Amino acid sequence: MNRLPDFDGLRFVFCLGIATFHYAFLIPIENQTVAAIILRFAYFTDIFFIVSGLFLARGRSRVWNRRSYVAFIGKRLARIYPLHVAAFSCFVLISVLTAYGFLHLHSYQPDMSWRNALAQLFLVQSWGFSSSMAYNYVTWSLSALLLMYLCFPFWDMLVDRWGRGLLLAGVAVALLGGDVLSRRMGAPSITRAHLSDIGLLRALPSFLFGMWLAKGPHISMPAWLIRLGLIACVLVFLFFAPPAAAGEPPVLEGVPRLLFLYVFTTLLYAASIRKVWTPLQWPGFERLSRYSFGVYILHPLVGFVFFRLFSPSWVHGTASALVLIAAGVIAVVLVAAVSYRLFENPVNRWLTGKINAWMSRGGDSSGRVASQAGSA
C-alpha cells in the first residue's frame, strides 16, 4: 500500500491545532480575528474521524473470521489503549489527591464519580453511558472511535458484498439522522454531540465517509483544479465566519461543517494519489507524525501542568498569549516524543508481537488482519 505523505503532515498539524484550540480556552486572546481562526481548529477533530476510516479501509485485502477480528481489535487497542490508561491514571491521581486535600489547585473540581471513571477507563463514555468530559476530556473521541473499530470488519464485509454505494447511503443517513438525534438529545448539532455524551453520532458519518473515499477508484481530476480547490478550502477555513447566534462562535457547525471537510479531504486525497505537491508533503512530517497520537492524548495533561507553572496572568495582549500557547504546544510535542520512544512504541510493538504470535499458533493463514495504517 502506497504511503500518503500529505496525510502524515495532516495528522501532525491537526493534533497541534487541537492542542492550540484547547489551550486557547486557558489563555485569553484579545484579538477577535485571531481568536475566531483558532476556534476553527475544532474542525480538525472531524478530520480525525475521516482519516481513521480512510486509512483502515486502505488496508490490504482481508478475509474476516473470528480469529482475524480478535487480532484486528487487539492491534487497534495495542495502539491506543496503553497511553490512554497512563494519561487517565494521572488524572485520577490528581482528582484523588485534590479531593482529599493533598493538592490545592485553584479552580479545579475533582471528579470522584466511579461511573465516569469506569466509563472512561473502558472508553465507553461517548456511547451515552456517562460524562464524556470527565478526566481526560479528549478521549471522548477515542471512545467513539473504539466503536467504529468494533464495527469496521462488519462494514468492510458488507461493502465487499453490496458495493461502495452502501457506504455513501450510510454517510447520508448517519449525517442527517445523527444531526436530528443530536438535537433531540440536547446538543446544538451533530458536531457538538459529544457535549451530550453521544460522541459516537459525531464520529459515524465521517468514519464512513473515509471508508467510502478509500474504497472507490482514484479520483480523476486535473492538478490545477485540485490546487485551486485546496486553496479555496484554506481560504474558507481562515476567513469564512458564518452568522452566529449571540454567544456562539462564528464557525461552521453541523452538516455544513462536515460537508465542507468532506470536500477538503477528497481534494487532499486526490492530491496525494496524483502526486500533486502540497506543503503537507514536507519530509519532516513523516518523522513528526509518529508523535501525533501522543500530542492528542497528552496535551490536556501537559497543559494542566504547564499553565499552572506559567500563569496566564503573565499575558498582556494577543502576542504574549500566542507565545505562551505556542510554548505549551512545543512542550507537549517534546513530551509526546519522549513518550513515544520510551513507552508508546515499545509497548505497542510488544503487544503487536504477542498478537502476531497468537495468530501464527492458530495456523490461520486466511485471517489476514489490517496492516498498521492510520493511528487514532
Residue 83 to residues 56, 114, 297: CA-CA distances in angstroms?
20, 21, 8
105: left (phi over 0), alpha (psi -120 to 50) or beta: beta
The answer to whether 15 and 288 are in contact (CB under 8 A) is no
**What's the pLDDT tens digit per position in 309-343?**
887 777 788 999 999 999 999 999 999 999 999 99
Number of C-beta neighbours around residue 367 at 10 A: 19
Distance CA 71, CA 69 (A): 5
Q: What tens digit of pLDDT does each residue of 200-241 get? A: 999 999 999 999 999 988 778 899 999 999 999 999 999 998
For the chain, percent of residues with pLDDT exceeding 70: 95
Name residue 125's amino acid: Q
CA angle 191, 194, 195 (to 5 degrees): 100
Which one has a higher pLDDT value, 14 or 363? 14
* pLDDT higher than threshold 90 for residue 358: yes
| Residue whose entry in the numeric block shows the C-alpha cell 470527565 | 134
CA dist 76 → 10, 161, 170, 231, 371 (Å): 20, 24, 23, 34, 10
For residue range 126-148, list pLDDT tens digits in order. Answer: 998 877 778 999 999 999 999 99
pTM of the model: 0.92
- Separation of alpha carbons 337 and 294, rounded Å: 8
Q: How far apart are CA 134 and CA 92, in angstroms?
A: 10
pLDDT at 1: 56
Is residue 126 within 8 A of residue 143, CB to CB? The reply is yes
At 90-124, the pLDDT tens digits run 999 999 999 888 887 777 777 778 889 999 999 99
- Do 167 and 155 touch, CB atoms closer than 8 A? yes
Burial annotation 66-83 (CB, 10 A radius, 16+ → b, else e): ebbbbbbbbbbbbbbbbb
pLDDT surpasses 50 at 364 = no
Q: What's the pLDDT tens digit per position in 233-266?
A: 999 999 998 987 777 888 999 999 999 999 999 9
Q: How far apart are CA 260 and CA 338, in angstroms?
A: 36
Residue 69: predicted pLDDT: 96
Helices (H), the chain: 5-23, 32-39, 43-57, 66-99, 114-121, 139-162, 165-184, 199-215, 223-239, 254-274, 284-288, 292-309, 318-339, 345-362
Q: What SS3 class is residue 206?
A: helix
